Amino acid sequence: MSHTATLTEKDTLAFHLEKNIDVLARKCYQCGKCSAGCPVAGEMDFSPSMVMRLLQTETPANDEKTLRSYSIWLCLTCEMCLCRCPMEIDIPSVMDFLRQKSLKEKKVNPKARRIIAFHKSFLNSIKYTGRLFELGLTLDYKRRSLTLMQDVALAPRMISRGKLHFIPEIIKGRPQVAKIFKKTSKKEN
Amino acid sequence: MARIGVFICHCGENISATVDCAKVAETIGKLRHVVLSTEYKYMCSDPGQTLIKDAIKEYNLTGVVVSACSPRMHEPTFRRACAEAGLNPYMCEMANLREHCSWVHEKNDITTEKAIDIVRTQVEKVKLNYALQPIKVPVTRRALVIGGGIAGIQAALDIANTGHRVVMVERSPSIGGHMSQLSETFPTLDCSQCILTPRMVEVAQHPNITLYTYAEVESVEGFIGNFKVKIRKKAKSLDEKICTGCGLCTTKCPQKKIPNEFEQGMGNRPAIYIPFPQAVPNKPVIDRENCTYYIKGKCKVCEIVCPTKAIRFDQPDEILDLDIGAIVIATGFDVKHADFFPEYGYGKYKDVIDGLQFERLASASGPTSGAILRPSDGQVPKNIVFVACAGSRDPAKGIEYCSKICCMYTAKHAMLYKHKVHEGKAYIFYMDIRAAGKNYEEFVRRAIEEDHVEYVRGRISTIYEKNGKLIVKGADTLLGGQPVEVEADMVVLATAGVANSGAEELAQKLHVSYDSHKFFAEAHPKLKPVETNTAGIFLAGACQNPKDIPDSVSQASGAAVKVAGLFSQDELTREPLVAQVNRMAPPLYSTCVGCFLCQPVCPYQAIEREEFKARDGKLIKAVAKINEGLCQGCGTCVALCRSKSIDLHGYSNQQVYAEVMALLNEY
């Protein structure tokens, strides 16, 4: 792509997005089709189109706002926005990139604490058993988020229906899974 | 012996600021065959031209090099000056010292060196120039207008009113085009048919216009002033001279369930039909694809009921050969339909319609006689949503451009709805309101302020059906992308305007270029918006890009003037800078070996076959010949010719070689 040829080094989010994941925030012309289709836009502090606009301004204040926003953590990566976007801007990847950046720079929105706790518990479960271990996930999540009593009433019914096992099922290819984790965590650093 | 005069222009300071003109003149003056080398502040001015004219006479010059600006700018000026002094104009060459040198370089010695080099090449070239005569071609004073919409009608009437003959070809059974389908027109809300139908009748009755409806252009050959056009008159299956247009056959035809094209599928028509009551000509045609007789071999009800016995089932297509001098393309456009949009239901929701369908609903002559009723159950919609930019400005859908007319007609649609359904609510989801045009912005403001149309800035993401309502999911981007959900009874998509079906094939038949969206391409986006890159073929209306009625009409009148201008000449003259295949005495005739590889590469179909025959008619040799009327002097054939038999006048191989050698050699 020709646009990379004229890329000048800048410490803005828009620049990093272009350099790292080849997404051009400036392509967005604010039609709002992403926000219109986003299932969680109503909960967001900045709707997807607003996030794109914040990135377009390329000012430190707005970049800060973006990294500290709740929106980037609410994104479900359902890709409805990408599917609808007339300019084919990969907003889910943008959100993913912003989440990593936000974590690295310790600018995580306080409201996103539980979401991150869930992410970590989920990944831990995969890391150690190779697949989702529901009970482990639940306990780990509760420990991290301190939501000890949330949804406890559901537990008996789930156990009786065989949805919550006490012993994790462990897959055969655990070393390979470990390798994936090792490789991706190395890449991040 | 060549006697060359070199005239170096300062162009005010444009050249002399960076190039040492005196030094250039001095150096060039020392070259062989240069008998005069002089400089002047403004060579194109009257005294400058007089300087050249006097020098030609005084020094008896055989060639002139004017070292000044681009030949695009002043070559005609200086060639005319030379001609006035009695020198063949093609003995004058220009060295471009301005665009190619002084404007693009700093002032220093190397710049002057380069200027000298540029002039030297032209001195060497002009030594090999030879006298050329302008090519003259005759003109057939009859125009062909392809397409009978408002643009075609306007162009045809304007040409016909200058006293020239016009042939109009329209592929559907009636002229009128999309404009005849519209209800009211923005920004005045006057009835479209009321202003159009008198024009349609005028076309049919004009003594200078020959109208062929239900006909298509089969092939086009020839060149400006001398086109040979084949027109296929599709069989209407009736004798037009006998038919009175009483319409009895259309009421008796048993086949009645064919979607009506004129009503955009909102109503049905029989197999023998008149597209709409005001059609011109107002005589039916039989749609053979859907007629029971042509499918099953029996029926013939129309033949039985026809009071004048005008039905002709065995009528064949007719091919007409016409000599045409100029062509106006006015084939119009089409709109995308709801089935183009997966997110808006792929056309499976009956109440999601396109703008042209809404026009038919709102039209007094439409399927509902002008009542806004939703297609699914015939109820009056209480909530109606208009979606602007449906498909337009959407690179993901392959349509990057703005369709230009949708902002205005959407405002009009919402207004018409509010005028007919007072208690209803009309939403318009838009991205920008583009209302550039006389009284256009005022019209949009009227829709918002007086008719209370609710404009929401944001694009619709999804439309789905729930409990008999259409749920329209949008966002208000002026409120930070806040989600907006409307329970609508009907949705109108202002779908993108696209090139008409068959535009690409027609462009190929006419050898005119078209863009990636299959719209016909103009010769220059600003200065030649009416011309195509093929001389003698002009554009009018929305076949070039989506246009509203005033724009189409103005362009059509523009095209008509171009045609009239062409027809005002007895014969056409054109630059003789064309290619030529050499000829020599028998038995060789030409060094051309007759491989005809040049034929397929010629972009202008200018290469013909010439045969030399003995007295007994036996073929001796077939060689290529270039039609001077068609050749544009591009030189592709020259580069390709294996036996080096083709040369380009004004840019011969020898001349170009001399230019290159001038640069390589010391002087």
Q: Does a structural domain hold residue A36? A: yes
Question: In 3-state terms, what secondary structure has residue B264?
Answer: coil
d(C-alpha B193, C-alpha B200), whole Å? 10
Q: What confidence score (pLDDT) does residue A127 get?
A: 87
d(C-alpha A32, C-alpha A91), whole Å? 12
Kindly state the tokens that stand for B666: 């010391």
Q: What confidence score (pLDDT) does residue B464 get?
A: 95
Whether residue A47 and residue B397 make contact (CB cut-off 8 A), yes or no, is no
Instruction: List chain B residues with CB under 8 Å of A47.
Output: 475, 480-483
Domains of chain B: 4-132 (3.40.50), 134-234+317-332+507-571 (3.50.50.60), 236-315 (3.30.70), 334-498 (3.50.50.60), 579-649 (3.30.70.3270)
Is the same domain home to A36 and A75?
Answer: yes
DSSP code at position A155: H
Q: Does a structural domain hold residue A120? A: yes
Q: What confidence score (pLDDT) does residue A151 get?
A: 85
Report the candidate in B332, B391, B283, B285 with the shortest Cα–Cα distance to residue B180: B332
Is the same domain home to A66 and A137?
Answer: no
Q: Give the chain A residue nearest B394 (alpha carbons).
A: A86
Whether residue A46 and residue B459 make contact (CB cut-off 8 A), yes or no, is no
- Ordered mean pLDDT values, 10 residues apiece, chain B (667 residues): 93 93 94 94 94 94 94 91 94 95 94 95 94 91 96 97 97 96 94 95 96 95 90 94 93 93 93 94 94 92 94 94 96 94 91 95 92 94 96 94 95 96 95 94 95 94 94 93 94 96 94 94 91 93 96 97 95 89 90 93 89 91 89 91 93 94 88
DSSP code at position B521: P
Is the same domain home to A14 and A99?
Answer: yes
What distance in Å separates residue A71's CA from the closest CA in chain B? 12
Whether residue A37 and residue B473 make contact (CB cut-off 8 A), yes or no, is yes
Question: In 3-state terms, what secondary structure has residue B572?
Answer: strand
Q: Does a structural domain hold residue A184? A: yes
pLDDT (tens digit, 9 = 90+) per residue, A170-179?
A: 888 888 888 8
Domain boundary among A85, A106, A127: A106
In contact, B319 and B216? CB cutoff 8 Å? no
Domain boundary among A68, A85, A106: A106
Kindly state the tokens that stand for B159: 């040409």
Is the same domain home to A102 and A118?
Answer: no
Q: Distance between alpha carbon B42 and the CA centroid of its chain, in Å?
A: 39
In contact, B22 and B81? CB cutoff 8 Å? no
Domain boundary among A79, A106, A133: A106
**Residue A187: band (very low, low, confident or very high) from pLDDT cuts 50, 70, 90:** low
Domain count, chain A: 2
For residues A17-40, average pLDDT:
93
Residue A11: pLDDT over 90: no
Q: What confidence score (pLDDT) does residue A1 get?
A: 42
Q: Measure CA of the first residue to CA of the last residue in chain A; give whole Å.
A: 27
Cβ density class B591-615: b for 16+ within 10 Å, e for less: ebeeeeebeeebebebbeebeeeee
Helix (H) or strand (E) holding B198: helix B192-205
d(C-alpha A181, C-alpha B5), whole Å? 82
Q: What confidence score (pLDDT) does residue B534 get?
A: 87
**Residue A24: band (very low, low, confident or very high) from pLDDT cuts 50, 70, 90:** very high
**Residue A188: band (very low, low, confident or very high) from pLDDT cuts 50, 70, 90:** low
| DSSP string for B1-47 | ---EEEEEE-TTTTTTTTS-HHHHHHHHHTSTTEEEEEEES-TTSHH
| Number of other CB atoms surrounding residue B172 within 10 Å | 18
| Nearest CB partner across the interface for A32, out of B394, B458, B462 | B458
Whether residue B481 and residue A80 make contact (CB cut-off 8 A), yes or no, is no
Q: Does a structural domain hold residue A2? A: no
Q: Does a structural domain hold residue A59? A: yes
Q: Does a structural domain hold residue A55? A: yes
DSSP code at position B316: P
Q: Does a structural domain hold residue A33? A: yes
Whether residue A36 and residue B484 make contact (CB cut-off 8 A), yes or no, is yes
Whether residue A32 and residue B396 make contact (CB cut-off 8 A), yes or no, is no
Q: Does a structural domain hold residue A1? A: no
| DSSP string for A121-178 | HHHHHHHHHSS--HHHHHHHHHHHHT-TTTTGGGHHHHHHTT-S-SS----TTHHHHH
| Nearest CB partner across the interface for B395, out of A30, A36, A87 | A87
Q: What confidence score (pLDDT) does residue A184 get?
A: 83
Orientation of helix B192-205 relative to helix B150-161, angle to 10°: 40
Instruction: List chain B residues with CB under 8 Å of A34.
Output: 461, 481
Whether residue A35 and residue B458 make contact (CB cut-off 8 A), yes or no, is yes
Report the candidate in B565, B607, B608 with the shortest Cα–Cα distance to residue B139: B565
d(C-alpha B641, C-alpha B579), whole Å? 12
| Amino acid type, B444 | V
| Amino acid type, A16 | H
Q: What is the largest CA-CA distance in chain B?
A: 96
Is the same domain home to A146 and A124?
Answer: yes
- State percent of chain A over pLDDT 90: 54
Is the same domain home to A41 and A117?
Answer: no
Q: What confidence score (pLDDT) does residue B79 get?
A: 95
| Nearest CB partner across the interface for A49, out of B395, B396, B477 | B477
**Residue A2: band (very low, low, confident or very high) from pLDDT cuts 50, 70, 90:** very low
Is the same domain home to A27 and A67?
Answer: yes
Q: What pTM value is reported for the model? A: 0.79
d(C-alpha B633, C-alpha B648), whole Å? 7
In contact, B578 and B135? CB cutoff 8 Å? yes
In contact, B200 and B157? CB cutoff 8 Å? no
Is the same domain home to A88 and A145?
Answer: no
Q: How far is CA B11 from CA B28, B98, B122, B132, in A?
A: 18, 8, 19, 29
Taking one residue from A and the other from B, the number of pairs with CB-CB distance under 8 angstroms is 83
Burial, B438: exposed, middle or buried (Cβ in 10 Å; 0-12, 13-18, 19+)?
exposed
Q: What confidence score (pLDDT) does residue B507 get?
A: 95
Instruction: List chain B residues with CB under 8 Å of A50.
Output: 480-481
What distance in Å separates residue B456's CA from the closest CA in chain A? 11
Q: What number is the ipTM of this complex?
A: 0.77
In contact, B485 and B351? CB cutoff 8 Å? no
Q: Give the chain A residue nearest B431 (alpha carbons).
A: A31
d(C-alpha B561, C-alpha B83), whole Å? 30
Is the same domain home to A85 and A128?
Answer: no
Question: In 3-state terms, what secondary structure has residue B224?
Answer: coil
Q: β-pairing, B142-146 with B326-329? A: parallel
Instruction: List chain A residues with CB under 8 Å of B474.
Output: 32, 36
Domain assignment of residue A145, given as a range: 111-188
Is the same domain home to A53 and A30?
Answer: yes
Does A24 reach chain B within 8 Å, measured CB to CB? no
Residue A4: pLDDT over 60: no
Query: B457, B459, B462, B478: best mutation site toward chain A, by most A Cβ within 10 Å?
Result: B459
| Number of other CB atoms surrounding residue B589 within 10 Å | 17
Is the same domain home to A81 and A134?
Answer: no
Q: Give the chain A residue nearest B389 (alpha carbons).
A: A31
Q: What is the CATH classification number for the domain harbouring A72?
A: 1.10.1060.10
Is the same domain home to A77 and A163?
Answer: no
Instruction: List chain B residues with CB under 8 Å of A33.
Output: 458-461, 475
Q: Distance between alpha carbon B191 and the CA centroid of its chain, in Å?
A: 28
Question: In 3-state terms, what secondary structure has residue B467?
Answer: coil
DSSP code at position B388: E
Cβ density class A50-86: b for 16+ within 10 Å, e for less: bbbbbbbbbeeebbebbbbbbbbbbbeeeebbbbbbb
